[in-house]
Structure 1
Amino acid sequence: MRTVIQRVRRAEVRVDGAVVGAVDSGLCVLVGVTHGDGRAQIEKTARKIAQLRILRSSDGGDDERRSAEEAGAAVLLVSQFTLYADVRKGRRPGWSHAAPGDVAEPIVEEVARELRDVYGLHVETGRFGAMMDVELVNDGPFTILVEA
C-alpha cells in the first residue's frame, strides 16, 4: 500500500460538482492499493496516518509536532490507484501494479474504519471509482510518501 500524506489547512472532494468529503485543518491522504495488500498493510497504514507527528503544535509552531491522534485532527482519505502507475517504459502509464477495484475498495474502506474505530479520528472519504475533483491547501507545504 502506498499513501501520500499531506498536512492541510483545508481539503475537499467533489463528485459531479457536489462535495462528498471535506475537512478543515488536518490531513489529506491519497491511498493506493497493490496486489497482496491485506490486514498487515491496513494496520500499518492506519497507524502511520494516525501517529506520524507532522501537525503543527496548538500555537502554530513547528518546534513541537503532534500526531493526528493527539490533535484529534480530521482525515480526508481518497482512493488513488494512480499511485501505482508504472512509467518506466514508453509514454503511457501502466496500471498492472494497482489492485483491481473489487480488491482495493474494501481495503481502503478498512483503512478508514481502522482510523475511526481504533484511533478515534473523524474520517471523510472520496467516492471510490468516481472521477473526483480534489481541492486542498497544503500547509507548509508538507507532503510525505509512505510505503506499507
Structure 2
Amino acid sequence: MDVITAPVFGASGKPIRMLAIWRDVTEARKARDEAEAARHEAERLAERLSAVLESTMDSVLVVDRSWRISYFNIKAMRLLQLDEHAIGLDLWKVFPADGNSVFAIEFRWAMADRSNVSFEEYLEPRGIWLEMHAAPTSEGMSLFFRDIT
C-alpha cells in the first residue's frame, strides 16, 4: 500500500480533519520487479555474448544500417588499429580508402540483398589479406574476419 496523509484546515487555521489516500501498488510493484529482473537478464546475456565475441579467433566488427560502427572486439581493434573513439563513426569515414573497394561492394551487396557473403581481399592500408564473412542483421551487419596473410 502507498499512503498519503495531510491535515485539512478549518477557517480558524487549525486542523479539523485528516485526509488519507490509500493506493494499492501491488501491480505497479510487480511490474517494476519484473522490469528489473528483465534488465538483469539482458545484462547477463550481453556479458555472455561479449565474452564469446572476445574469445573467438576472429576479429568482429558490427555496423548499423547507416554504416556506423557499433561494436568491435579487441582482435578487430588491434588488427584495424582502432580505438574506442571509432564507436559511432561511419565505417567509410574510418576507412576512406576502402569506400569503393571490394570490401564496400561486397558489404553493400550483402546489406541490400540481406545475404551473407564470404570473400578474401587485400586490405592495402594495413598491408594484410583478410578472410571476410559479412552477415546482415536486423540492426545492420556483423563482420567476422581474420588475417590470412
Using structure 1 for the length normalisation, give the TM-score: 0.20
Q: Which has the higher helix share?
A: 2
Q: Higher Cα Rg: structure 1 or 2?
A: 2
Asked which structure has the greater RCO (Cα within 8 Å, sep 6+), the reply is 1
